[in-house]
Amino acid sequence: VCIHRVRSCSSIRFIKSKYVCVFDKSALKFSHQQRLFRTSAVSCGQIVQFKLSDIGEGITEVTVKEWYVKEGDSVSQFDSICEVQSDKASVTITSRYDGIIRKLHYSIDDIAFVGKPLVDIEIDASKGVASEEDVVETPPMSHEEHTHQEIKGHKTLATPAVRRLAMENNIKLSEVVGTGKDNRILKEDILNYLAKQTGAILPPSPKAEIVPPQRRAEAVPAAPKDKARKIPVPVSRPIAFAGKDKTEPVTGFQKAMVKTMSAALKIPHFGYSDEVDLTQLVQLREELKPLAEMRGVKLSFMPFFMKAASLGLLQYPILNSSLDENCQNVTYKASHNIGVAMDTGQGLIVPNVKNVQVCSVFDIAVELNRLQSLGSAGQLGTSDLTGGTFTLSNIGTIGGTYAKPVILPPEVAIGALGKIQVLPRFNSKGEVFKAQIMNVSWSADHRIIDGATMARFSNLWKSYLENPASMLLDLK
Amino acid sequence: MVLQSVKNCLWMSCVLRTPKAYFWSTASGGLIIQSVSNDVYQNLAVEDWIHDHMDLEKQQVLFLWRNSPAVVIGRHQNPWQECNLRLLRQKNIKLARRRSGGGTVYHDLGNINLTFFTSRKKYERMENLKLVVKALKALRPQLDVRVTDRYDILLDRQYKISGTAAKLGRTNAYHHCTLLCNADKCVLSSVLKSPSKGLKSNATPSVPALVKNLFEEDPSLTSEMLLDAIAKEYAVQHQIDHHITLINPTDETLLPGISDKTKELQTWEWVYGKTPKFSISTCLNMVYKDSVLDVKVNMDVKHGRIEVCNIDLPEQWLPPGLYSELVKSLTGSKFCPNETTTLVTTLLRLCPQDDELHSRWSLLCENMIRLM
């Protein structure tokens, strides 16, 4: 049934529709609205006032708590429109029609009345009212609350695992032909459907011929049906991709990153990399780990790296300094507050261990444990995150070898540690042995640090780690 | 009490080859299930799943569950207004927002939760509560328990032992309620006391009530006994077998999509972001170098994010550039201590390395973060 309506702007009166519509009359009202006159003959939709239906328990009024739609949004039947609350009950109101929201009758926190209009929906004239036979099944999982897996009318048979597979791939089960018993859709049917969509290579199915679903006329793929060939030839076809770009504002952790990195840009970086043979350190840690555990502390490699760095900084204090804004003065920091880059769920944070120069390896391990548990719980305090003078980033725990770390102002140096790999190396006798090799990549502020200083520091740090016993000589 | 484990169910269903169908559509008009998990998010997700996916026209469901310590706020409530968030974080007590309305409750293993699932048409809270009272009286006839017209259950006419909330959808509805068996009342009262001052909001407020544990009335009662008694009464009233089927909320085969639901309930956007718009208007009393500074702070928070932020500092206390940077950073960011800490410590990196400035900055920021 089609309704034409011509609206005039000059008069408030409207022209009644010529055609009688087959709607539930009680839900229908012609709205007295003033609209702009259109010269072109546009067939507009019917505006339907969707009333707030009975909540039950004799409730007559509710409070509108949240709108899921705004004016101009298009909605489908069963989409959630708003959330209302009445006496400890939260009610999700869903749309009865497909159409476009034209008016919200209430604002948040207003009292809404049962039986009175809630929203005005413009129903698409060509479609008419959504029929109850609509097949509403397995839409992709949305972030809203209203996911529906009801199937009305058409019953498509499929196990939960198959349904999920279809859901994950945005496939409508109604478009897949089932080859199982009673036309049940099997996993293979989904995979075949996918293959045809993307032109993916699938090994030829050992089962009977797969009937291609009725789709728009396209070139018949030579691939899966041709059993003579071992490897089917991929046929390129236009890939239907329904994804959309998503824009969101930069906030929170990302905002912090943007600020830090933009400031870091001003620092002229130079890089210096090397490899460190950690064979002896690995062994030492294995021996010390149970001792630390007995004291209730998890011992990783970081405390060793940090202590060695601190010993190195004692010899090369310029790496633990700060350059002022005008590059007039260099401040040599007395404390070695060594920052440790941490990857949390939300992003990068760099808490620091204070005064590593007076801490033992065990002390550092204890403090690291504390920072790590606070970091993962999102409970680090401001003092933990400020005052850093030098930073180490153990990206190797995730992966990688060489890196190009960015200095965190107001510091002047940073080191990125790659993963420990077992590699063949030559010893002093010329024999090949199994070595535990880790790569380190330093970055430093070239305004006040030169390559030679960085290299010497790195060599010293490396020597402490390659021969951990030498640390004993210089421990303070 | 007969407990039939899910494993048996599924083994049998493997033979029949339709696990979900067998499990969910029993011939009878009712089903009693109990969660094996004590994770509040997983259990809330099961409620969501049943509400979204089950056909409750011919069959009603009773879901029994208990949680390890958690505070659960209603759909339209404000966590800052309802509980002591700092204390929750310190004690590692989870915070969850449920989808039903109503007020804030504290859950621990001494509190049991009952969810009555019905079709929308058969939604009837009073009947459910009367069932609970009947079950309690059958177990211990001397208990003075009754249902009020606020849908609470009172013990000895003055102590609240049960709170109610409900959720109605298009075709399904559920009514859930708590039952205080042996919860930690100390923790309960301390976490449900919010320290925030100057908070103005239209969020649903909780109505504080005097509470008592059933255990205090009768030390022979345990949570298990209560669960069983209620299940028995439900079975009688729905004319079904007194079977409690155990259900694992992490079973994706039985409950496809449940892990997504569980994850969503834990996101910041759901727990905090769904807070109705509110404003904070308060005064920070900052002690700085032998003097006390009164700093007025006004903030508007929408969707859990700071929309507007005004801090009334004495002139030149902070360099104006830095002050405007602070306000700019805070605007649009989450009203969350973690995020604010990250932002303010980052900003500190970018300003001159002046000890005086740093200590003022830290003082101000720490006071601001304490509001969150």
Render B82-96 in DSSP notation, one character per residue. Answer: HS-HHHHHHTT-EEE
- Indicate left, alpha or beta for A208 from its phi (over 0: left) and psi (-120 to 50: alpha): beta
Q: What is the dihedral of CA B236, B239, B244, B247, to 10 degrees?
A: -130
| Residue A221, in any domain of the structure | no
For residues A173 and A312, membership in a common domain is answered with no
Least confident of A16-20, A306-310, A326-330, B327-331: A16-20
A70: containing domain: 46-123
Strand blocks (E) in B231-313: 243-247, 278-288, 291-302, 305-312
Examine the pLDDT at A161 and tell me if it is beyond 80.
Answer: no
| Residue A32, in any domain of the structure | no
Task: Considering only residues A393 and A242, tell me which one the structure prediction assigns the higher pLDDT.
Answer: A393
pLDDT of residue B348: 87
Name the nearest CA neighbour of A284 among A436, A460, A476. A436
For residues A320 and A452, membership in a common domain is answered with yes
ipTM of the complex: 0.81
For residues A191 and A119, membership in a common domain is answered with no
Residue A316 belongs to domain with CATH number? 3.30.559.10
Q: What is the dihedral of CA B359, B360, B364, B365, to 10 degrees?
A: -40
Collect all residues of chain A within an 8 Å Cβ-Cβ radius of residue B256. 160-161, 163-164
Number of domains in chain A: 3
- The class that CATH gives domain B29-272 is alpha beta
Percent residues over pLDDT 70 in chain A: 75
Q: Please tell me the distance from the alpha carbon of residue B330 to that of residue B344, in angstroms, as a whole number.
A: 9
Instruction: Indicate the pLDDT class of residue A178, thresholds 50, 70 and 90.
Output: confident
Pairing of strands A111-113, A61-67: antiparallel
Phi, psi of A148 (to 5 degrees): -120, 130
Q: Calculate the CA A3 to chain-centre distance.
A: 46
Which residue bears the tokens 């030390």?
A: B219
Which of A176, A195, A214 marks a domain boundary?
A195
Q: Please tell me the distance from the alpha carbon of residue B170 to that of residue B52, in angstroms, as a whole number.
A: 10
For residues A416 and A467, membership in a common domain is answered with yes
CB contact under 8 A, B167 and A89: yes
> How many Cβ atoms from other residues are within 10 Å of residue A85's Cβ?
21
- State how far residue B34 is from chain A, nearest Cα, in angstroms: 22
Strand A61-67's sheet: what is its strand order?
A111-113, A61-67, A80-86, A89-94, B164-168, B172-180, B111-119, B60-65, B30-35, B243-247, B2-4
pLDDT of residue B261: 94
pLDDT of residue A331: 92
Q: Please tell me the distance from the alpha carbon of residue B331 to that of residue B164, in angstroms, as a whole number.
A: 37
Q: According to the 3-state scheme, what is the secondary structure of A215-234?
A: CCCCCCCCCCCCCCCCCCCC
| Residue A359, in any domain of the structure | yes
Which residues face A342 on adjacent strands?
A: A349
Residues of A acting as catalytic residues: 446, 450
| Residue A40, in any domain of the structure | no
Q: Which residues of chain B does CATH 3.30.390.50 include?
A: 278-371
Pick from A89, A331, A379: CB nearest B101 = A89
pLDDT of residue B318: 86
Examine the pLDDT at A34 and tell me if it is beyond 60.
Answer: no
For residues A421 and A351, membership in a common domain is answered with yes
What's the farthest any 2 CA atoms get from each other in chain A? 104
For residues A456 and A307, membership in a common domain is answered with yes
Instruction: Return the CATH number of the domain spanning residue range B278-371.
Output: 3.30.390.50
Collect all residues of chain A within an 8 Å Cβ-Cβ radius of residue B342. 252-253, 256, 349, 385
Which of A150, A175, A195 marks a domain boundary?
A195
Instruction: Indicate the pLDDT class of residue A337, thresholds 50, 70 and 90.
Output: very high
pLDDT of residue A198: 53
Instruction: Report in angstroms the alpha-carbon separations of A296 from A292, A365, A371, B246.
Output: 6, 10, 15, 37
Pick from B168, B252, B350: CB nearest A89 = B168
Q: What is the dihedral of CA B359, B363, B368, B372, to 10 degrees?
A: 100
Count interface pairs A-B at CB distance under 8 A.
158
pLDDT of residue A197: 60
For residues A118 and A170, membership in a common domain is answered with no
H or E element, residue B14: helix B6-16
- State how far residue B315 is from chain A, nearest Cα, in angstroms: 24
pLDDT of residue A73: 87
Q: Please tell me the distance from the alpha carbon of residue B161 to that of residue B178, in angstroms, as a whole number.
A: 8
Q: Please tell me the distance from the alpha carbon of residue A83 to that of residue A456, in angstroms, as a whole number.
A: 66
pLDDT tens sequence for chain B (372 residues):
444 554 444 433 333 333 455 566 555 688 999 999 999 999 999 999 999 999 888 889 999 999 999 999 999 999 999 999 999 998 999 999 999 988 999 999 999 999 999 998 888 899 999 999 999 999 999 999 999 988 889 999 999 999 999 999 989 999 999 999 999 999 999 999 998 888 998 888 888 888 999 998 889 988 999 999 999 999 999 888 888 999 999 999 999 999 999 999 999 999 999 999 999 999 988 888 888 888 999 999 999 999 999 999 888 888 888 888 889 889 988 999 988 998 888 888 888 778 888 888 888 998 999 889
Instruction: Please provide the average confidence, as pLDDT, over all residues in chain A.
Output: 78
Q: Which residues of chain B does CATH 3.30.930.10 include?
A: 29-272
Pick from A145, A161, A260: CB nearest B253 = A161
pLDDT of residue A59: 83
CB contact under 8 A, A91 and B168: yes
Least confident of A3-17, A449-463, B123-137, B145-159: A3-17
pLDDT of residue A195: 64
